[in-house]
Amino acid sequence: MNVGLPRDVSWQGRTVRTAVWKRPADGPRLARRLNLVGDGQGDLAGHGGEQRAVFVYQIEAYQYWQQQLGRNDFEYGQFGENLTVRGLADDEVCIGDRYQIGEALFEVTQPRVTCFRVGIRMDDPRIPALLVSHHRPGFYFRVLREGAVQAGDEIVRVARGPQAMTVAEIDALLYLPGHPAEQVRRALTIPALSPGWQASFRELAAQADNGKGTGNAGLAAASPPPAWPGFRSLTVTAIERESESVISLRLADPAGAPLPAAAPGQFVSVRLRPHPDQPPLLRSYSLSGAPDAGSYRVSVKREEHGTASHYVHDRVRAGDRLEVAAPRGTFILRPGTAPVLLISAGVGATPVLSMLHALADAGPGREVWWLHGARNRAEEPFAAEARSLLDRLPRAHRHVCYSQPGPGDVVGRDYQSAGRLSADVLARLALPRDAEAYICGPNGFMADATAALGKLGLGGGQIRTEIFGARPALTPGIAAAAAVPPHQPAGTPGSGPEVAFARSGLTVRWDQRYASLLELAEACDVPVRWSCRTGVCHNCESGLLSGEVGYSPDPVDDPADGDVLICCAQPTGDVALDL
């Protein structure tokens, strides 16, 4: 029996908060609902909690790894386990099995979710991937009955889990290629399977039902496969003013062929070249028109210090050619019959306006709420267009808030209430609790709207948001540091292919001193998301807008078409990433 409390360790110049260092505990310890007495977890987002109270690993697995890795320096607790056991192999223990140990009663809930910290503890970064690919992850107990446990206690199985699906089988079903639909649905019938794993399998089941065969929906939301690789030249056929600060560009195939339909809510990345002797600017703009119009419309707000937006407003003209990547994005209107809340502020109306087009074209079935915040009528883009689309939907509701109404703005005609579109406003509207919400706007607005909807009873699975610019970083267990704008990496510039980080507006040269695109992004302070760093968890999965990559090590399961796992990828030529 092993316990350990969180502590700070140094790793690659950063401080990591972790409790992966465990030490044998003498005498009995009370197994409580959240952990053994004297034990703790450093990252409660990925470890700990009622479903992951006690981690179990096997002596036989230690012996296996000693042989596989040629090591003889192991000690109990080294894999981060609380209980080091003889028997209970991952290919024999089933999810839902119940065991009596000492005075306590336990139930198996899920395999271990491997992260980079077990690699730190083992002094081998390959370990997270090896645990999965060799089918030896270990598993978690939840505590059904609290009681004292100690080393030497006999382990007695008192109940077998339904479906008899083993830990190794469940682990492979999520992480390894294949994901047979019948097995996924079987896994979803196991009540003891932890909610997080159930959510992953529900996404895999939906992926199978929708006929989307690329990527791993259980680990990362993926955009539909891009309609073309890289960038293609499109013609600007028209430029329209939507408000004092927003213009729309209509883009079409130069030869007149219809462009592939986009999913409502997606965006395109555009490569702009204001200065021929400097790297191009990469910017992503939501599609604001009808998804199947045969052409695309992007709408761009003039930002005070926005180099790209000033270029688009001041220098792009009808007849010009722009380099455009295929539509992408996971902020997509889902089919169904549930009510829809389209919530936006400012130019954040662009992707939800595309959704409104799709809803109007689909017919009168769904209840639709258009909830928008603007400064005033002069600064409200698409006002007449949105009203026209809503008029086609008999179950539509419109509530527009003006924070600074103009002298000619009329309550009831132009807007419904003065002030910001706030939590108080949303609470007064009697919004349907079974709705699906789509939110786009400034980060603070989206956070407030999400929290307000949560208080009204909408669950996290009912709320989707779209972020303009860089997404928030996910660096589990890493001590917080002051945010730094993306920049060229320190030291001598690289001489390899160009790596463009589209959302961060940065282009740098690859250098072999970096093991992966993730390491290069970190050296540039580009916000990134990761957990395992070895191609298992897919948290780092990002859009590959153009170019090709190689992998070392190979990922356990491939990303979706048009995506890349940056934690183990290296560019083989110039690449552009949606980061």
| pLDDT per position as a tens digit, 297-312 | 999 999 988 899 999 9
Task: Quote the percentage of the chain above a pLDDT of 70.
Answer: 99
Residue 46 has pLDDT above 80, yes or no: no
Report the b/e string of 324-352 with b at 16+ CB within 10 A. bbbbbbbbbbeeeeebbbbbbbbbbbbbb
Q: What's the pLDDT score for residue 278?
A: 81
Separation between Cα atoms, residue 500 and residue 577, nearest integer Å: 6
Task: Give this prediction's pTM.
Answer: 0.90
Separation between Cα atoms, residue 78 and residue 17, nearest integer Å: 17
Residue 481 has pLDDT above 80, yes or no: no
Band of residue 486 on the pLDDT scale cut at 50, 70, 90 = very high
Separation between Cα atoms, residue 303 and residue 346, nearest integer Å: 12
Separation between Cα atoms, residue 93 and residue 157, nearest integer Å: 10
- Residue-wise pLDDT for 402-432, tens only, equals 999 999 999 999 999 999 999 999 999 999 9
Q: What's the pLDDT score for residue 102?
A: 97
Give the DSSP H or E segment for 282. Answer: strand 281-286
Token representation of residue 63: 């012996």
Three-point CA angle 313, 314, 318, nearest 5°: 75
- Tell me if 312 sits within 8 A of 250, measured CB to CB: no
Q: What's the pLDDT score for residue 467?
A: 85
- Residue-wise pLDDT for 171-188, tens only, equals 999 999 989 999 999 999
Q: What's the pLDDT score for residue 224?
A: 86
Band of residue 474 on the pLDDT scale cut at 50, 70, 90 = confident
Residue 206 has pLDDT above 90, yes or no: no
Residue 285 has pLDDT above 90, yes or no: yes
Q: What's the pLDDT score for residue 510?
A: 97
Of 503, 535, 545, nearest in space to 521 by CA: 503
Q: What's the pLDDT score for residue 388?
A: 96
Band of residue 363 on the pLDDT scale cut at 50, 70, 90 = confident
Residue 231 has pLDDT above 90, yes or no: yes
Band of residue 214 on the pLDDT scale cut at 50, 70, 90 = confident
Residue 282 has pLDDT above 80, yes or no: yes
- Tell me if 253 sits within 8 A of 234, measured CB to CB: yes
Mean pLDDT, range 201-212, rounded to an integer: 83
Band of residue 189 on the pLDDT scale cut at 50, 70, 90 = very high
DSSP state of 385: H
Separation between Cα atoms, residue 56 and residue 139, nearest integer Å: 5
Band of residue 318 on the pLDDT scale cut at 50, 70, 90 = very high
Separation between Cα atoms, residue 199 and residue 176, nearest integer Å: 17
Mean pLDDT, range 102-119, rounded to an integer: 95
Q: How many helices (H) and strands (E) does the chain have?
A: 12, 31
- Residue-wise pLDDT for 374-405, tens only, equals 999 999 999 999 999 999 999 999 999 999 99
Separation between Cα atoms, residue 78 and residue 21, nearest integer Å: 7
Q: What's the pLDDT score for residue 213?
A: 62
Mean pLDDT, range 87-97, rounded to an integer: 97
| CA distances, 362 to each of 9, 336, 355, 393 (Å) | 55, 11, 11, 10
What type of residue is 46?
G
| CA distances, 29 to each of 59, 145, 213, 295, 371 (Å) | 20, 14, 47, 67, 55
Mean pLDDT, range 150-156, rounded to an integer: 97
Task: Quote the percentage of the chain above a pLDDT of 90.
Answer: 87
Band of residue 365 on the pLDDT scale cut at 50, 70, 90 = confident
User: Quick one: CA dihedral 428, 429, 434, 440, positive or negative?
Assistant: negative
- Residue-wise pLDDT for 515-570, tens only, equals 999 999 999 999 999 999 999 999 999 999 999 999 999 999 999 999 999 999 99
More confident residue, 210 or 123: 123
Separation between Cα atoms, residue 115 and residue 130, nearest integer Å: 12
What type of residue is 457?
G
Residue 41 has pLDDT above 70, yes or no: yes
Q: What's the pLDDT score for residue 212?
A: 63
Phi-psi region for residue 331, left (φ > 0), alpha (ψ -120 to 50) or beta? beta
Average pLDDT, the chain: 94
Mean pLDDT, range 281-302, rounded to an integer: 95
**144 CA to centre of own chain:** 32
